[in-house]
């Protein structure tokens, strides 16, 4: 495992360590969510992607900024929380809820759009001794399949096709569920 991956894993552990006692729910998404569901680091990652409830975003920002994380000025915090933990890029997209309680996009032009059913009901993922809440494998597959349809200007990258193959081949496992409030 390279040095950046180790620093990314350290940022993941730190965010979970900060949010659990504060009662802030977070879920890994993107490539690291896949790796935590697979149980191993499968490829290099550019950044670390998370979800949190929009209502918790200010408290989350206060926690990580107090630990020395820096805001990334390239993205307005009203749309998502983009930060640097040292040299690690961290992005936290916001979740909302519709009237039935289903997670929705929490900010931006697609706010209110329903997200995949069951997305937040996955067993926790694990790499070594680090256990982290992630979005579900079916949601990860749906996102990887649909991004080129939803955003034609963002064609599927070779790593996305490889990720889809890994996710489809992943055994569905029962694991520890993370606490939900």
- SS3 for 96? strand
pLDDT at residue 148, as a whole number? 63
Nearest to 61 by CA among 91, 88, 86, 31: 91
CB contact burial 40-59 (16+ within 10 A = b; e otherwise): ebeeebebbbbbbbbebbee
pLDDT at residue 179, as a whole number? 44
CA 66/CA 136 separation, integer angstroms: 30
Residues 78, 94, 86, 14, CA torsion sign: positive
**Choices 3.40.630.190, 3.30.460.40, 1.20.1370.20, 3.40.50.720: CATH for 3-169:** 3.30.460.40
User: For each successive 10 residues of the chain (181 residues), what is the average pLDDT?
Assistant: 95 97 97 94 95 97 97 89 96 96 94 95 96 94 76 76 82 49 39
pLDDT at residue 149, as a whole number? 66
């Amino acid at each position: 495992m390279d040095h950046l991956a180790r620093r990314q894993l350290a940022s993941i552990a730190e965010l979970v360590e900060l949010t659990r006692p504060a009662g802030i729910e977070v879920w890994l998404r993107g490539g690291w969510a896949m790796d935590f569901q697979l149980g191993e680091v499968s490829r290099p990652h550019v950044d670390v992607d998370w979800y949190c409830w929009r209502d918790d975003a200010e408290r989350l920002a206060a926690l990580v900024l107090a630990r020395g994380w820096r805001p990334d000025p390239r993205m307005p915090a009203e749309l998502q929380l983009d930060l640097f933990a040292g040299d690690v890029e961290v992005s936290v997209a916001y979740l909302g809820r519709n009237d039935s309680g289903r997670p929705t996009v929490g900010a931006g032009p697609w706010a209110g759009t329903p997200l995949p059913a069951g997305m937040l009901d996955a067993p926790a993922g694990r790499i070594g001794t680090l256990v982290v809440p992630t979005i579900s494998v079916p949601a990860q597959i749906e996102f990887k399949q649909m991004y080129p349809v939803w955003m034609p200007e963002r064609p599927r990258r070779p790593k996305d096709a490889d990720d889809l193959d890994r996710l489809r081949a992943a055994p569905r496992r029962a694991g520890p569920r993370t606490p939900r409030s």
